[in-house]
């Protein structure tokens, strides 16, 4: 009886194990089937734009010829740009060094930095203020102590800060409100007349452009995302009238109609767009000061 009972127990145990193995196999097969169905479903649901990103070809930005400057990383030196969307310029001034900036741009200063105000010449200041939409005065901070002194400068609106090497890009043409600061006094400002009367009246940049000449580093402010491109000789690009931040003096600035009559009236770009012809560097912004002011104004009015 004991022997029979043992055989019955063994048979029951092996039956249970077989059932478990069958159940495991069924579960694995079901899970595999489910995963295959999910993978197939996921492949079907992937948008075409996302699927294109796995290709090893050039990106749309590379195809456009523009580049987006990477976030600034401090690698030594007397200045640093900090922040993401609304950035701040932090500068260390050593004995006898100074920084020049727009009025009201100082975020913080310390004892030992002596402030001063200049115009850079009455006639040029009048041209810059009345015809180019720039400030009449420039503010200077000079370190008269023996020790390093630090200060910070911020744009007058939420903006990114663009360092410009004036040793390479001296004579840069800027739109109004683009200049933020520069290190030293060996920086001079001038004005440049547009190439045509149509550009002066319809280009959205005023009747005069501001130019900056000198050595060292200058800092421009721009809203939104910054794009840069080196235009080849005779190469053209059409941009929104407010999108231009600066360009090299070798770039010809003109205007072109925005398109057909329907496009000019209903396309939202106005009657004209800027036509930039190379060679030279072109710097664009996605959220210009004028657009930001209009957007904030509409938001405030709605409330």
CA 211 and chain centroid, separation: 21
Q: What does pTM read for this prediction?
A: 0.74
C-beta atoms surrounding 160 within 10 Å: 24
How does pLDDT run along the chain (303 residues), one tens digit per residue? 444 444 444 444 444 445 544 445 555 455 455 455 444 444 445 444 454 555 678 888 888 888 888 777 666 788 999 988 889 999 999 999 999 999 999 999 999 999 998 877 777 777 667 665 678 888 999 999 999 999 999 998 889 999 999 999 988 999 888 999 998 778 888 888 887 887 777 777 777 888 998 898 999 999 999 999 999 999 999 999 889 999 999 999 998 887 778 777 787 777 888 999 999 999 999 988 777 777 776 554 444
Q: Does 148 sit behind a cis peptide bond, omega within 30 degrees of 0 on the bond before it?
A: no
- CA-closest candidate to residue 140, choices 173, 175, 209, 186: 186
Beta carbons of 68 and 225 less than 8 angstroms apart: yes
Q: How far is residue 182's CA from residue 102's CA, in Å, rounded to a whole number?
A: 10
Strand ranges (DSSP E) for 65-194?
A: 79-82, 88-93, 98-101, 106-108, 113-118, 138-143, 149-153, 160-165, 172-174, 179-183, 187-192
Beta carbons of 244 and 295 less than 8 angstroms apart: no
- CA-closest candidate to residue 162, choices 212, 234, 237, 97: 212
């Amino acid at each position: 009886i004991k022997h029979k009972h043992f055989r019955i127990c063994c048979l029951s145990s092996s039956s249970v194990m077989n059932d478990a193995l069958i159940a495991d196999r069924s579960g694995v097969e079901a899970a595999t089937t489910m995963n295959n169905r999910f993978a197939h479903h996921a492949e079907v649901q992937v948008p075409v734009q996302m699927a294109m990103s796995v290709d090893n070809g050039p990106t749309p930005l590379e195809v456009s010829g523009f580049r987006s400057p990477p976030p600034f990383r401090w690698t030594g030196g007397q200045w640093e740009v900090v922040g993401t969307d609304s950035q701040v310029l932090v500068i260390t001034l050593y004995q006898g060094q100074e920084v020049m900036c727009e009025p009201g741009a100082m975020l913080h200063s310390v004892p030992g930095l002596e402030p001063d105000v200049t115009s850079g010449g009455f006639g040029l200041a009048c041209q810059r203020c009345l015809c180019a939409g720039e400030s009449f005065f420039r503010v200077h901070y000079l370190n008269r102590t023996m020790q390093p002194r630090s200060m910070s400068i911020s744009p007058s609106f939420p903006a990114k800060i663009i360092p410009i090497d004036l040793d390479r890009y001296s004579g840069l043409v800027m739109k109004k409100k683009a200049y933020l600061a520069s290190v030293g006094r060996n920086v001079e400002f001038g004005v440049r007349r547009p190439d045509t009367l149509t550009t002066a009246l319809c280009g959205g940049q005023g009747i005069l452009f501001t130019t900056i000449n000198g050595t060292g580093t200058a800092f421009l402010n721009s809203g939104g995302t910054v794009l840069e491109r080196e235009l080849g000789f005779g190469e053209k690009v059409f941009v929104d009238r407010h999108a231009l931040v600066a360009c090299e003096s070798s770039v010809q600035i003109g205007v072109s109609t925005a398109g057909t009559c329907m496009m000019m009236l209903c396309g939202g770009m106005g009657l004209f767009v800027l036509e930039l012809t190379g060679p030279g560097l072109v710097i664009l912004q996605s959220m210009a000061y004028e657009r930001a002011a209009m957007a904030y104004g509409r938001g405030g009015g709605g409330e």
